[in-house]
Each structure stands twice: as structure tokens, then as C-alpha cells.
């Protein structure tokens, strides 16, 4: 395969929301499903989020709730908006890989590399977004065979719309939010080999995509 195996995973409300609004993060997973997410992290070579998630959540993307290796963090960030104070720059093992566009500022690239990131330029599409297929090919060429995509909404939508997903694991928390929906485009896909687990008060739905 010319790209890593891709698992999309996130937590949503009953009405399909990831957060109350962009910029208003919401802890949706209970402790049991959060532990499941950390198990999944430990089973993947790399973990990817969009810059929107870094700016709002400042995630660590490490494995803390179970024993296991930390995946390599990857961020999609066309303009290098990645903050120099982001917690990902203090990762215990890996330099975060920031995939950026051809036009991103060279001084900013140097500043981020001095702060501990590895910045890799990749081509963009007609909308100015990173070309996911090429980006995934690059990650595979770095030896990364599996990738967990953890959000946010735009990144999840892009991976599903471009059919670059092999498997999903979605935590559904028993609440309504009426906020930022996981998909902002029509996505007509059905899961195969579906498995349901009740973890605390959440349900985790897992399945493969053809
Ligand atoms: N509940 C959960 O499990 C969960 C998980 C993660 C995040 N979240 C929430 O999701 C929200 C953030 O979502 P978001 O949609 O604003 O941001 P996002 O999906 O994290 O990041 C989107 C950004 O990534 C960059 N990007 C570059 N290439 C892309 C491509 N090919 N496709 C898509 N994006 C690309 C774009 O910014 P540039 O143009 O600047 O490159 C784009 O605006 C936050 O509120 C966070 O709390 C929830």
C-alpha cells in the first residue's frame, strides 16, 4: 500500500457534534472510552490532527491511560499557524511533524524547527488545502505504516470525502450538543464488520470502510 492504514476516531454527541462550537472544546468521552482511545493510539505508528484542533485544544496526543508506545504526532498546517508554545513541542519522544504548504513562511519554518518540530512541505490542492494522498504517501515513505486521524471536523470530513479511511472507531456520548458537527459535507458511506461496545455511559462503534 502506498499510504499508511488509516483509522478515523473521534468522540461525538448523539446529534453528531464534536464540540459546542469551533473554539469551544467539550470533553465528550467518559473515562472508559478515553482509555479505549489511548489503547487505539498505542496501536498506531502515527496520529494526525488539523491545525484547528491544535489551536483550540492544544493536545498532547500521547498514550497516558494505558501502557504502550506514543504514536508519532502529525499536524496539517498549510500556513504554519502552529504556536511556538504548543504542548506538542514538548512531546516526550517524537518531534511533531508539521505538514505545510509550499507558500508557508521560511522564517516561521525555521522558528518551528528550532523549537523542536520537523516541518515538511507538501503540495496543496485548488482550494489551498494539503493534498491528502500525497501527504499520506510522504508519511508512508517515512516508514509510518498506520495512522490514527483524531480530528477535527474539517480533517475528518476531508479524509472521509476522499475515501482515504480504512476503519473508524467513533465514541458516542449520551448527550445533545447542537454545535460543531463532525461532517460539514455529504458523506454517503456504510460500515462493514461493525462492532459495538458499551464503555461506561458511552457506546463505541467500530467498523471497516470498503
Ligand atoms: N470530539 C472530538 O473527538 C474532537 C477531536 C478533535 C477535535 N475536536 C474539535 O474540533 C474542532 C476543530 O475542528 P476544525 O474543523 O476547526 O479544525 P481541524 O479539522 O482540526 O483543522 C482544520 C484545518 O487543517 C488545515 N488543513 C490543511 N490541509 C487540510 C485538508 N486537506 N483537509 C482539511 N484540513 C486541512 C486547514 O487549516 P490551514 O488552511 O490553516 O492549513 C484547516 O482549516 C475543535 O473545536 C476541537 O475541539 C473534537
Residue 50 in contact with ligand 1 by CB distance below 6 A: yes
- 167 or 26: which leads in pLDDT: 167
Contact 132, 31 (CB under 8 A): no
pTM, two decimal places: 0.97
Atom number of ligand 1 nearest to Cα 100: 41
Nearest alpha carbon to residue 181 among 19, 14, 7 = 19
Summarised one tens digit per residue, pLDDT across range 143-191 is 999 999 999 999 999 999 999 999 999 999 999 999 999 987 887 889 9
List the Cα angle 71/36/60 in 5-degree steps.
Answer: 40
- Mutation to probe ligand 1, out of 153, 157, 170, 182 (largest number of atoms < 8 A from CB): 153
Domains and CATH numbers, the chain: 5-208 (3.40.430.10)
Produce one character per residue of 58-80: b if its CB has 16 or more CB atoms within 10 Å, e if not.
ebebbbebeeeebbbbbbbbbeb
CB atoms within 10 A of CB 210: 8
Amino acid at each position: 500500500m502506498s499510504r499508511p492504514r488509516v483509522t478515523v476516531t473521534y468522540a461525538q454527541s448523539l446529534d453528531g457534534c464534536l464540540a459546542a462550537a469551533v473554539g469551544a472544546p467539550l470533553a465528550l468521552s467518559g473515562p472508559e472510552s478515553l482509555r479505549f482511545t489511548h489503547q487505539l493510539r498505542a496501536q498506531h505508528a502515527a496520529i494526525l490532527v488539523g491545525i484547528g484542533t491544535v489551536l483550540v485544544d492544544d493536545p498532547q496526543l500521547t498514550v497516558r491511560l494505558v501502557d504502550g508506545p506514543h504514536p508519532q504526532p502529525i499536524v496539517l498546517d498549510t500556513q504554519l499557524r502552529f504556536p511556538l508554545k504548543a504542548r506538542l513541542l514538548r512531546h516526550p519522544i517524537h518531534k511533531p511533524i508539521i505538514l505545510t504548504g509550499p507558500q508557508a513562511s521560511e522564517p516561521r519554518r525555521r522558528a518551528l524547527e528550532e523549537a523542536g518540530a520537523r516541518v515538511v512541505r507538501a503540495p496543496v490542492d485548488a482550494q489551498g488545502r494539503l493534498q491528502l494522498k500525497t501527504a499520506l504517501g510522504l508519511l508512508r515513505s517515512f516508514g509510518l505504516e498506520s495512522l490514527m486521524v483524531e480530528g477535527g471536523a474539517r480533517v475528518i470530513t476531508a479524509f472521509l470525502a476522499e475515501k482515504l479511511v480504512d476503519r473508524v472507531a467513533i465514541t458516542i456520548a449520551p448527550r445533545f450538543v447542537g454545535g460543531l458537527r463532525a461532517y460539514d459535507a455529504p458523506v454517503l458511506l456504510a460500515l462493514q464488520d461493525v462492532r459495538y461496545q458499551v464503555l461506561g455511559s458511552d457506546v463505541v462503534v467500530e467498523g471497516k470502510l470498503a
